[in-house]
Amino acid sequence: ASELAADLARFLEGEALRARRTGWPVLAARGIRRHPWVTLAATTLMLAAGFLVYVAAGRQVSEALRSRWVAEAAGAGAEGRWQDALAGYERALALYSSDTGLRGRKDEAARRIAEERERLTRQKDRAEAAVVYKEFVREMHMLRLRTYQPGWRLREHEFAEYERIERDAQAQMEKTGPAGDGWWVVGRVRQVLGKPEAALEAFDRGSAAEPGHGLCLVYKARLLLDQAIISFGMATSEQR
């Protein structure tokens, strides 16, 4: 009261007042002391609202990232870059692991990668097998050169060499799959060894493995023509 009276006297005399407006921290502290439960409820509501805003913002960010990663993965898949597509789907699934659609896309990308690896492996195996078949052809050519010598007859060791080439060609196809060149080698060996029916079977299997395989078609036609000529010759001899 004395401070109020002093301030009133100073006011009447035109002097500066010493009293100051109460600051908001003091007012807030007084309000908290007077209404503790209201303050607690208001604080709880503010925290809950802040948390909900944080969660909503986080979901928006996650959804934006997911959409971007899925779009990038789909674009990579359309271009055949399945490794990049798989990585994108895996990142998106890290945010939404329960998304069955994304999981299906990821499995599709993994399947395409496995198919591509298998295709490259088959391509490599075929390239290696082609080299092996060329070596078989070279060996047969060296054996065939002897047939041009006067008085040549197929000797036992040469017969065994032809049989080995046939076995090796079939073993190579068991490793790398049926091939036109492989069956052509088998057919030629059987033809040289006097097994025309078995040779025709080999040429047919070569054409089935690689439709339109030129050597199999040509040598099958030649063998059929030879058989027809022989049959015609035998029929003419019988008539005489």
Q: Note the pTM of the prediction, 2 decimals.
A: 0.53
| pLDDT (0 to 100) of residue 182 | 93
Find, among 194, 187, 149, 195, the residue nearest to 165 by Cα. 187
The 10s digit of each residue's pLDDT in 46-93 is 888 887 877 676 667 667 777 777 777 778 877 777 788 888 877 777
Mean pLDDT across the chain, nearest whole number? 79
Question: Residues 12-34: pLDDT tens digits?
Answer: 766 665 555 656 676 667 677 77
What are 116-160's pLDDT values in tens digits? 777 777 778 888 888 888 898 888 888 777 666 666 677 788 888
The confidence score (pLDDT) of residue 103 equals 75
Tokens encoding 105? 């896309």
Write out pLDDT tens, residues 196-237: 999 999 999 999 999 988 999 999 999 899 888 878 777 776
DSSP secondary structure string for all residues of 119-183: HHHHHHHHHHHHHHHHHHHHHHHHHHHGGGSTT----HHHHHHHHHHHHHHHHHHHHH---HHHH
- pLDDT value at position 151? 64
Highest-confidence range of 15-24, 39-48, 159-168, by mean pLDDT? Answer: 159-168
